[in-house]
Amino acid sequence: MSVDTHVSVLLAEAVAGLAIQPAGTYVDATFGRGGHSRAILAALGPKGRLIALDRDPAAIAAGASISDPRFTLVHAAFSEFDSVLDKLGVTQVDGVLLDIGVSSPQLNTPERGMSFRFDAPLDMRMDTTQGETAAEFLARASQSEIERVIRDYGEERFAHAIAKALVAARGEHGISRTGQLATLVAQVVRTREPGQHPATRSFQALRIHVNRELEELSLTLPRAVARLAPGGRLAVICFHSLEDRIVKRFMRDAAHPPQPPKGVPVRAADLPQPVLKLVGKAMFPSDAEIATNPRCRSAVLRVAQKV
């Protein structure tokens, strides 16, 4: 697999979940390398429209290869969903796809600094044109803040010891490269699950923090639903339990709004009404897909339809 290759996960299942209408308008809010977008375009008719977003400049450059009048690609984070649609004059859409998480090209490109497999600058930003790098965060953050990030976003039980070691190390020589970070964490984390590098959880946590991944997701879900036309579909693919928890709870609460206690006199018309209807059960990659693309093993797809 080349550096710039990305295999779209749950491709057929995600596109099927959107229930494409040939003349509909759809949003692929995480373009990546365009696998899902190309499949959506193939299902659309001549009057259909697809709007894609990505905050990674490399993804935007890759999207230049799609020359289709039905297709619009915008350099923006998916939390900018509303402003992008407003600028394009789009009020409602028939489906939104979110494929959350880091892409293979981002992991496989050393200078992005997202992997401990390479010694490279400790960047980790998905949008390399703006924002604070992981190295800059580690240089200025307090020990308690670093500990919180590693504990909450990495679910790392050694977060306190790791943060303490990182603060001590930066005082001596700074932490500016992935190799430094991986070595420091490995010196602290003596035990780890078989086959997992000691720094896996810390790298994941810093990447999630630098890119505000969970905040972006929490902001975008209600905005996406608000833009859906009645009957429109929201399909979300997650690769991490923290992300999937947000999606699962959001869809569940929108499909089953809280009801008043029994015995409270409330007219049926005044009861909270569901905004979404869950479509099927959560879907996971097949054994065959995992065999050809091991990185997809943690993926889960959830689909809901606007009532």
Residue 1 has pLDDT above 60, yes or no: no
What is the rounded CA–CA span in Å between residue 77 and residue 129? 12
Residue 5 has pLDDT above 60, yes or no: no
- Is residue 56 assigned to a domain? yes
196 and 172 both lie in a single domain: yes
- What pLDDT digit, counting tens, does each position of 150-159 carry? 999 999 999 9
- Is residue 115 assigned to a domain? no
287 belongs to an annotated ligand binding site: no
Provide mean pLDDT across the span 197-213. 95
pLDDT confidence tier of residue 163, bands split at 50, 70 and 90: very high
43 and 99 both lie in a single domain: yes
* Last residue in a domain, options 179, 210, 241: 210
- Is residue 121 assigned to a domain? no
Residue 243 has pLDDT above 50, yes or no: yes
Q: What CATH code is carried by the domain that includes residue 73? A: 3.40.50.150
106 belongs to an annotated ligand binding site: yes
Provide mean pLDDT across the span 2-6. 50
Which residues in 92-131 are b (16+ Cβ under 10 Å) and which e?
ebbbbbbbbbbbbbbbbbeebbbbbebebebbbbbbbeeb
82 belongs to an annotated ligand binding site: no
93 and 153 both lie in a single domain: no
54 belongs to an annotated ligand binding site: yes
Provide mean pLDDT across the span 188-212. 90
Residue 55 sits at the vertex; the CA angle it makes with 53 and 57, to the nearest 5 degrees, is 110
52 and 89 both lie in a single domain: yes
Find all residues with CB under 8 Å of 256, minimum gap 6, and list them: 274
78 belongs to an annotated ligand binding site: yes
- Is residue 63 assigned to a domain? yes
Residue 209 has pLDDT above 60, yes or no: yes
> What domain count does the chain have?
2
* Last residue in a domain, options 210, 238, 262: 210
pLDDT confidence tier of residue 3, bands split at 50, 70 and 90: very low
- Is residue 161 assigned to a domain? yes
Least confident of 138-152, 224-238, 239-253, 264-278: 264-278
- Is residue 6 assigned to a domain? no
Helices 241-255 + 213-227 axis angle, to 10: 30
127 belongs to an annotated ligand binding site: no
Look up the domain containing 191 and give its range: 128-210
* Last residue in a domain, options 187, 210, 233: 210
- Is residue 116 assigned to a domain? no
32 belongs to an annotated ligand binding site: no
Provide mean pLDDT across the span 104-121. 87
